[in-house]
Structure 1
Amino acid sequence: MVDLTAIILTKNESKNIVDCLKSIKGFAKRAVVVDSGSTDDTIEIAKNLNANVYFHKFENYARQFNWAIDNTNIDTKWTLRLDADERLTPLLCKELEQLMEQHDNDDVNGITMEAWYYFLGRCIKHGGSKKRKLMVFKTGIGRIEDRKMDEHTILSTGRSVATKERFLHYDFRNIDYFISKMNWYATREMQDYFEFLENTSQDKLNDKSIGETRKKKFGVYYRFPIFFRSWLLFIYFYIFKLGFLDGKEGFIYHYMYQRWYRCLVDAKIYEQLLTNKPFEETGDLKV
């Protein structure tokens, strides 16, 4: 067991929380669950699996996670950012333990990981869907960027290294949930776009790869004509990045995410340009 606290944000995650907590059993010294109003038995399950449960009203992901960092009495050397629908594998836990021991007293203050993403029961292996992010950091050095969308962990000092092993991401429940979640994300994505235009969302990333991806989104993707760009994105990922190799599940995923979701974001951007209505807090995802 390593000197690490895992922070998991939840709301109605009874279907996920068991496997999530079991995946870090024997690895993380402590598991902290911050719940934002579950009406199922998420809290009871988490307590039965020896997690420390806290409650905090949800504003956005970044503020919720940063609240957890500041208010759950973390005294371990390392902190893990883990979503309820994510799992660590035994091989990944072993690699993380080695990396944390190796970099215990140097300037490596974060560890970045990629995901295997599962959609409709199938692992999406093609089309750039690995969802890379910095998930482990030395306590007191990492925080989440306070932005509406595409928030990442930033380090106040030092650098990060990457694992070879990947974590498992089971974000998909069913099509109805996926559509609701994409609609919720699209509102936040639209707000993030306008905040970028107004220069209110400043990048402080130490991760060059994520920084380059964000530059491509705002510096390249959004320069293409509205609505037309979502078609280009779908063609790029589905054809040129070989998304079609993942069969029907790959088609549904890439069409819904690259084409439909990005078109929905554009529709919300267009609506905002027409109405200029004040932004409203999107709150927690309603499920």
Structure 2
Amino acid sequence: MNEAPNPTAGTPKKNCVVVLLTFNSAGIIRETVTAALRVSPHVYAVDSGSTDGTVQILQELGCTVVQRPFTNYSEQRNWAIAQVEEDCDWQLHLDADEVLDDTSVQEIRALLAGGARHDAYMLRRRDYFMGKMLRYSGVNPWHLRLFRSGAGRCEARLYDQHFILVGAQRTSARLQGFMHDKNALQLSDWIARHNRWSDAEAREKSGPQSVGDDVLQPRLLGDARERTRFIKQLYYRLPIGVRAISYFFYRYFFRLGFLDGKAGFYFAFFQALWFRMLVDAKIYEMNSMTDDNNPNLGVSPSCANTTRPNAS
């Protein structure tokens, strides 16, 4: 499949373009785009070969759709950034199942109308699991998604990727609204996806850790994302096994996940305990066996065509 040229080239510069990554997202994409269109009439979707009617829905709603094979989340995001960078002042990046609420729509519209004092803005993400909105059990909610063209890119990581600021003296701020991550996966599909993501996380943690300007750095006194990464760095200093169990108790009891009912328990169990234990088991496996003994160890090629993993 050939990569499509930038269809926005040569047109008048836009105030804001909403950028989506899509793959078989027909069940939610209409709701996502409908909310995004309240922010900007310009929606640019990079699709990775959907076969479920996603592209038809996008075209029906007036979106620009290009096809591009999926290699990994960071590479796909940064390619999309480059395609629209010269044609808009601002970029808003959403996943296919992230729906803006009324507050975030109003805030973003006010910023685009001339009220922006910063180069980028962070939105809170509210997780859904088994059809229920999670008020307490969710993972790190803050994500930098709205930024001036030329001011942001996606960090080069296999897992837990965030957008980062580019250039000196750039500033960011928080918005009050939410983007609702309306994950509609059946539990079996959710488990299969997280099994693939555990490959990427285990490989990331088994190799040299990325440093420099291309990744979000762990900082205790940084923004919410940097503090979370600092805490995650401490997490990986705990013994294998102990850390996953400790994380479950932290999420379910200390962070009041039990107040989200049965869905909150299952989310804490699968996302904080099962997933983290699976990552630890794969790290142990990778450290115990050389690639010569098992050349198939590594990131599964089936990690392609998945939305961005939840940062945790």
Match of 1:199 among 209, 224, 236: 209
What residue number does 1:180 align with?
A: 192
Judge conservation of contact 2:20–2:46 (CA < 8 Å) in 1: yes
Match of 1:156 among 166, 187, 192: 166
Q: Which amino acid aligns with 2:235?
A: Y
Report which stretch shifted further, 273-282 or 30-39. 273-282
Once residues 177 and 133 of structure 1 are traced to their aligned partners in structure 2, the CA distance between those partners, rounded to angstroms, is 24
- Residues 175-211 of structure 1 deviation map (CA, whole Å, 9 limit, x = unaligned): 011101111111111122123xx13454644862211
Q: What 5-or-longer segments of structure 1 have no aligned partner?
A: none
Judge conservation of contact 2:38–2:105 (CA < 8 Å) in 1: no
What residue number does 1:238 align with?
A: 252
Q: Which amino acid aligns with 1:190?
A: A
Judge conservation of contact 1:117–1:130 (CA < 8 Å) in 2: no
What residue number does 2:298 align with?
A: 279
Once residues 228 and 122 of structure 2 are traced to their aligned partners in structure 1, the CA distance between those partners, rounded to angstroms, is 15
Shift of 1:123: 1.2
Report which stretch shifted further, 151-160 or 69-78. 69-78
Once residues 73 and 123 of structure 1 are traced to their aligned partners in structure 2, the CA distance between those partners, rounded to angstroms, is 34
Task: Establish whether residue 79 from structure 1 lines up as the match of residue 98 from structure 2.
Answer: no
Judge conservation of contact 1:5–1:74 (CA < 8 Å) in 2: no
Q: What is the CA RMSD across the aligned residues, in angstroms?
A: 2.1
Task: Establish whether residue 114 from structure 1 lines up as the match of residue 133 from structure 2.
Answer: no
Specify the SS of the correspondent of 1:262: helix
Once residues 280 and 243 of structure 1 are traced to their aligned partners in structure 2, the CA distance between those partners, rounded to angstroms, is 31
Alpha carbons of 1:230 and 1:49: their partners in 2 closer, same or farther (altered >3 Å)?
same
Match of 2:27 among 7, 12, 15: 15
Q: Which amino acid aligns with 2:122?
A: T
Judge conservation of contact 2:199–2:300 (CA < 8 Å) in 1: no
Task: Establish whether residue 41 from structure 1 lines up as the match of residue 63 from structure 2.
Answer: no
Q: Which amino acid aligns with 1:148?
A: L
Shift of 1:141: 1.3
Once residues 268 and 62 of structure 2 are traced to their aligned partners in structure 1, the CA distance between those partners, rounded to angstroms, is 38
Identity of aligned residues (%): 31
Q: TM-score of the superposition, structure 1-length normalised? A: 0.91
Alpha carbons of 1:56 and 1:271: their partners in 2 closer, same or farther (altered >3 Å)?
same
Match of 2:282 among 246, 265, 268: 268
What residue number does 1:54 align with?
A: 66
Once residues 48 and 246 of structure 1 are traced to their aligned partners in structure 2, the CA distance between those partners, rounded to angstroms, is 37
Specify the SS of the correspondent of 2:177: coil
The size of the alignment, in residue pairs, is 281
Report which stretch shifted further, 140-149 or 23-32. 23-32
Q: TM-score of the superposition, structure 2-length normalised? A: 0.84
